[in-house]
Structure 1
Amino acid sequence: MDRLARILIVAGGLAAVAWCGVGFAYRLLLVSLPVAVTDSGSVEAAAVVTPSSQGGEVDVAVILDRDMFRSAAPVAKAPKRPERRDIGLRLLGTVLGADPASSRAIILEERTRRQGLYQIGDRIAGAVVVNILARKVVLRLGERLVELQVDNAPAPSPVAPPPGPATSAAAGLSAGTEVISVSRHRVSNAIKMAGRILGSLKVTPYEENGVPQGLRISGLKVGSFLHQMGLRNRDVILEVNGEPLTGMEAAAQLFAKYRDSDEATVTVLRRGERKQIHYRIRR
């Protein structure tokens, strides 16, 4: 029993000595602080902190301000900026919706020559679409952000509003125009499946004397929606309601413009001859 008491006394004494030593070192640290440099660049003596005469309390505000123990919150890192690099993808155009969720990007996978319509969250060639903007799209590839832009071609002229009730797309139809009637419900379903439809097609620019004139389609399957809408393989789509189709971005803008119209006329070049197909959308 005496031995246990001695051990406890020795342990208590060591604890008291350690406590006093730490307290003395802490106060010694506070007694003298180095000079501080002000925002204006002048040097001033730092405030001397001494123990209070009442209760032995010390002011630790200076230590906290100087962050001597590295306790301040870390500075937030600036967000990563997308980089431009070749990842085997090519942006053909974008369609901006009323909100980001309804925006779409037309992207070509150069290795397979497959193109599709993508929205935010979709994956393509190991990358994920994170943002769709006018004429550019941001992808996440691993830890990197990659930006794709439409080729440096002149942006298509802004399209005018669709014709009102007093103006009809059927006005001025030439003789021999093919007229196709289709329900709005079927058109809406086709729009929802646009990514799959585009993925099965091959669309290439068509030029005459180096000037873009339209888009040539191939890979069209017999019985598919577009085949039933009167289009054929090797057709070159030249115009929609008289507005030229100079590229994929122009096609995307015209699609966004006329998707809710009740009628539209498409002009195609088929085996060297111009042909019109007029669509009437039933409610």
Structure 2
Amino acid sequence: MIKISNKYFWLFNLLFVAGAAWFVCQISILFIQDRLKTSPPLGPGQGSAFKAEKPQAYERYGTIPERNIFNPSERGLKLIPLGDRRAGKRPKNMEAAQLSSSGSLRLVGTVTSQSGRGWAILQEEKDRKQRLYPIHGRVDDGKIVNIARDKITIQSGGKNEVLALSSDKVAGSPPSKPTTSAKEKEAVQKLSTNRFVVNREDVVGMVGNINQFMTQARIKPHFVSGRPGGFAISEIVPGSFFEKIGLRNQDVIKKVNGQPVNKPEEIFQAYSQLIRDSNIELEIERNHQSEVLRYEIR
């Protein structure tokens, strides 16, 4: 009997350990269940314990669109807070990111490309402020769906509205002789190789229609190692404004008043400076060398 007990003692040991482990597990389960408390069911009149976060004031996030690091041409625009949008109101002192009505807008010019990209320059008749809009850009409650050389199409409320260049701007002087008047001959005075005096009144008259202005030369993006490096000028019409201000074929415009010019909206800003500012410095690359052309606009 003793021999049998010794022979199977390990089996009794194993059963004892297994039983002890099972007993400890059961005690642990009972202990945990006692500590856990089930939340009482919500009554019919009770809602969720979590409350919706209160909407933040516009000032908390308004600086994001105003700085607009992704589209410099629309810096300063403001979003419409959701509450005001539902009520059909706009924030006070809000600069028109979406202009009031196409009836109060005038198409100043367009920029088109073979790739299908395009931009429209619209002017608010009230304050005569001009803005650059890309294709598919928002204008009030509509969207620009097509940009052609002399017109754009705005889709609003399921209808298409065509906004064309003003007839007086389109007609003007014959395109074959855009720069031969006596006034234009006096528009630019050359003081030295890189210094010029430009008559503001004559310049405003010449560049008032950007489409006609851009027929005097061909401007296309210039790339260096695959990256934008300004805009190259070619096919300058002899005797045109471009030639009078000292530009030559194959020149590359790099900077205007120290600011790089790599995007269409930056070209538009430079175009606006030509009309508005009194002194302009144009940094160009000519024959792989940098030169600066200086203009005084009177």
Q: TM-score range by the shorter chain?
A: 0.3 to 0.5
Per the normalisation by structure 2, the TM-score is 0.42
Per the normalisation by structure 1, the TM-score is 0.44
Q: Higher helix fraction: Structure 1 or Structure 2?
A: 2
Higher RCO structure, 1 or 2 (CA under 8 Å, sep 6+): 1
